[in-house]
Each structure stands twice: as structure tokens, then as C-alpha cells.
């Protein structure tokens, strides 16, 4: 790390590690406040304050994460800082070109997570996320600062859309389940089940609720049959799942005929069950002019929004971005499977099901598994399976 080259400024290994942890956790808190509070409907009632707060929070988080990557991260190979620079350069360009700053912020978080105590980071994540959610709900129901957005079919809970609320809820669910997996007690099961029921019944965010139900069911089966998810067949299926869902998304959107959908009744019934998503996939994705660099809007506009990350990424990030993101995600799954981290693989299976129904793979408040990025960026190809990865749960 760069700080070691200046002995007068170097506080020593222990203090340096503690400083790195605090800097990283502080950046997480800033990003979660940005997402939970100042990405809400308060932007409509307090636009000047919200703009200043968003600039300050984003800038502060970028500075902290940049300092962590540059000054407080130890690199064991010469190519690692070069790779970090290339990742940041590409994601910064893609974020600017596609108007998706969270793509760049996700890369910053993933790179800065190297050598971080993930349990401590997840505790900070949960505290900030829950506090932000409760604060927004208090403002939404007790003040006029978070007006209801009448565009929504369901109540939006201060986030402009009920699925936006669901994205914040599933982030809390994922972080809670991941952090407590090895020590889950009855109150953890009850709390996670209650959060699942709330998400399904109150905002009605079915994509988030479905992924929650899948992860809770997988954890329950794992509790009684742990070896079921620790074998080559299961790991192969887990790696094949995102590939299969991506292929199905392309196929369903291509063959679905919104003018006469009855010619394929199975697809019609499935599309109805998925809230008419096949028609959106057909009209939005297959009607879009795709390119290598992307740049097409995929969120925020009802005429371009598409609730499927497998289709949204090639629209917004282009063919190049879709290939790079796919390689990253598949490599992450492969490395976790190789090192037999079955629980993290289960978590990524649930995330895969979620992004099949929604377009929030780079939003930190919906995806705490961005903290697993060092498994891809900084683990050598020839690393033995016994080498520890930056994970939270014990191997099966």
C-alpha cells in the first residue's frame, strides 16, 4: 500500500488496518444514506438540499473509497493496482455514458473491500440501511416531505415506486441473512420470515419477496441437508442458472407477440404471472438499438424501464459491458464453488433470481454481495482451494 512508502505517515500495521476498516465503513454509510434517504421522493420537495446532499455524499464516498484503494490497500502482485485502475476507468466511462453512477460506485466498493473485515462492514451496512429506511418512512407518513407518487399502482413508501422500496428491503434481508447465517437462531428465522411477509403483503414487491423466499427456503434445506449444496452437480447448476435465465429472457422477449399472445399460451400465462414482463421485454429490449457501448436508459422512464437486469445491462452498458459483467459474475460463482463456499453460492442464486425480475444489480442498498468482488479481482487463477476468500460464512 502507498502509505507504507512514507514511514513518517505510516501508523503501523494494526492501526493501518483499523483505519482502513473505518474508512471503508464510513464510505458504506455515506452511500447508503445517499440511496436510502436522498434517492427518495424528497428530491421533489427539497430539490436544492437534495442536490447538495447527493453531491456531498457521492463525493465523500468516492474520496474515502479512493483513499482506501490507493493508500490503505495492500497489493500482493504488480498487476493488481493496474487491474484496479482499468476497472475504475472503464466503469467511470460506462457510468457517464449510460447515466448510471451506481455502476462506478459498485466498482469502487468492490475494489475497496479488499482486506476488509466483512462482518464489521455488514454490521455497519445493516445499521445504516435500517436507520435510513425507518427515517424515510417517518418522513413519508408524518410529514409532507415525501409525497406519494401517483404514477405507482401501489403505495410507493417514499421511493417513487413500490419496487424501489422492495429493493431497499431486500438489501436488508440479504445482509441480515448473510451476516447471521452461521449463528442463526429462532429470532433470526422469525425476523427474516416477517420481513419476507411484509415485503410481499405491504408494498407488494414480488421480485424482492420471491428472492427472499428462495433464499430462506435454501437456507432451511441447507440446515437439514448441508451436503446437498456442496457438490459439483449443485455448483454446476448454480453457475448455469444465470446463463439459462439470460437465454430465456432473450427468447421470451423475442418470440412473445403482444398483438396476438394466445399463439403461445404457456408464455402468455407465465407473462401474466410475471406482471406482463414479456411484453415489456419484447417492446423495450427488442425494439432498442443496441451497440457495443450501450448508453440507452433502462430506469426511471416508464417508456424505457425494463425489469430484468439480463436485458437492461446490454441496453445500458452495451455488448462490451454485458460481456464483462457476465464474466465477472460467472467467475465469482466459480471461485466460490471451487473454494466450497456453499452459503455464498446460495446467496448469489437468490440474487440471480432477484435481478431476473428487477434491474438493481449495482445498487449497493439492494446488493450487499458487491463486497465479494475481491474474490474476482484479487484472487489468483492458480490459488489453491484451501486459500481463504473474503467471505463471511464457514465452508460446509
pTM for this predicted structure = 0.96
Q: One digit per residue, pLDDT tens: the chain, 396 residues?
A: 555 555 545 666 778 899 999 999 999 999 999 999 999 999 999 999 999 999 999 999 999 999 999 999 989 889 999 999 999 999 999 999 999 999 999 999 999 999 999 999 999 999 999 999 999 999 999 999 999 987 777 899 999 899 999 999 999 999 999 999 999 999 999 999 999 999 999 999 999 999 999 999 999 999 999 999 999 999 999 999 999 999 999 999 999 999 999 999 999 999 999 989 999 999 999 999 999 999 999 986 655 789 999 999 999 999 999 999 999 999 999 999 999 999 999 999 999 999 999 999 999 999 999 999 999 999 876 667 667 899 999 886
In eight-state DSSP terms, residue 57 is H
First to last CA, the chain: 33
Say how far apart CA 345 and CA 181 lie, in whole Å: 13
pLDDT of residue 395: 84
Cell of 373: 468482488
Of the candidates 372, 311, 336, the one whose C-alpha atom is nearest the C-alpha of residue 175 is 372
pLDDT of residue 305: 85
Torsion 91-95-101-102 (CA) sign: negative
pLDDT of residue 8: 47
Give the distance from CA 81 to its chain's centroid: 24
Of the candidates 216, 241, 240, 238, the one whose C-alpha atom is nearest the C-alpha of residue 341 is 238
pLDDT of residue 302: 59
Say how far apart CA 71 and CA 65 lie, in whole Å: 10
Give the distance from CA 308 to its chain's centroid: 13
What SS3 class is residue 257?
coil
Q: Judge contact between 285 and 315, C-beta under 8 A.
A: yes
Cell of 275: 406482471
Amino acid at each position: 500500500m502507498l502509505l507504507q512508502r512514507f514511514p513518517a505517515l505510516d501508523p503501523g500495521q494494526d492501526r493501518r488496518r483499523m483505519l482502513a476498516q473505518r474508512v471503508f465503513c464510513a464510505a458504506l454509510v455515506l452511500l447508503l444514506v445517499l440511496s436510502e434517504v436522498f434517492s427518495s421522493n424528497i428530491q421533489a420537495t427539497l430539490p436544492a438540499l437534495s442536490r447538495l446532499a447527493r453531491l456531498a455524499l457521492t463525493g465523500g464516498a468516492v474520496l474515502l473509497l479512493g483513499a482506501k484503494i490507493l493508500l490503505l490497500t495492500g497489493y500482493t502482485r504488480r498487476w493488481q493496482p493496474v487491474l484496479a485502475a482499468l476497472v475504475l476507468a472503464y466503469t467511470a466511462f460506462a457510468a457517464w455514458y449510460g447515466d448510471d453512477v451506481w455502476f462506478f460506485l459498485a466498482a469502487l466498493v468492490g475494489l475497496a473491500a479488499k482486506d476488509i473485515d466483512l462482518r464489521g462492514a455488514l454490521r455497519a451496512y445493516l445499521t445504516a440501511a435500517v436507520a435510513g429506511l425507518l427515517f424515510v418512512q417517518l418522513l413519508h407518513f408524518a410529514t409532507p416531505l415525501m409525497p406519494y407518487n401517483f404514477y405507482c399502482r401501489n403505495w410507493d413508501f417514499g421511493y417513487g415506486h413500490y419496487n424501489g422500496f422492495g429493493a431497499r428491503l431486500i438489501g436488508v434481508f440479504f445482509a441480515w441473512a448473510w451476516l447471521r447465517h452461521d449463528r442463526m437462531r429462532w429470532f433470526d428465522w422469525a425476523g427474516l420470515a416477517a420481513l419476507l411477509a411484509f415485503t410481499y403483503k405491504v408494498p407488494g414487491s414480488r421480485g424482492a419477496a420471491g428472492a427472499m423466499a428462495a433464499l430462506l427456503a435454501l437456507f432451511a434445506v441447507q440446515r437439514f441437508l448441508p451436503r446437498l449444496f456442496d457438490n459439483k452437480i449443485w455448483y454446476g447448476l448454480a453457475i448455469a442458472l444465470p446463463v439459462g435465465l439470460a437465454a430465456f429472457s432473450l427468447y421470451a422477449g423475442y418470440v412473445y407477440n403482444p398483438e396476438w399472445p394466445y399463439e403461445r399460451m404457456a408464455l402468455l400465462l407465465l407473462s401474466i404471472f410475471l406482471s406482463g414482463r414479456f411484453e415489456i421485454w419484447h417492446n423495450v429490449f427488442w425494439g432498442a438499438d443496441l451497440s457495443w457501448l450501450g448508453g440507452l436508459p433502462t430506469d426511471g422512464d416508464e417508456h424505457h424501464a425494463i425489469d430484468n437486469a439480463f436485458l437492461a445491462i446490454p441496453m445500458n452498458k452495451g455488448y462490451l459491458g454485458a460481456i464483462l459483467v457476465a464474466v465477472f459474475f460467472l467467475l465469482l460463482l466459480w471461485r466460490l464453488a471451487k473454494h466450497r463456499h456453499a452459503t455464498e453460492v446460495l446467496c448469489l442464486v437468490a440474487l440471480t433470481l432477484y435481478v431476473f425480475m428487477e434491474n438493481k444489480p449495482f445498487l449497493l442498498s439492494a446488493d450487499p454481495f458487491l463486497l465479494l468482488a475481491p474474490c474476482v479481482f484479487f484472487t489468483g487463477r492458480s490459488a489453491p482451494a484451501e486459500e481463504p476468500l473474503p467471505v463471511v460464512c464457514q465452508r460446509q
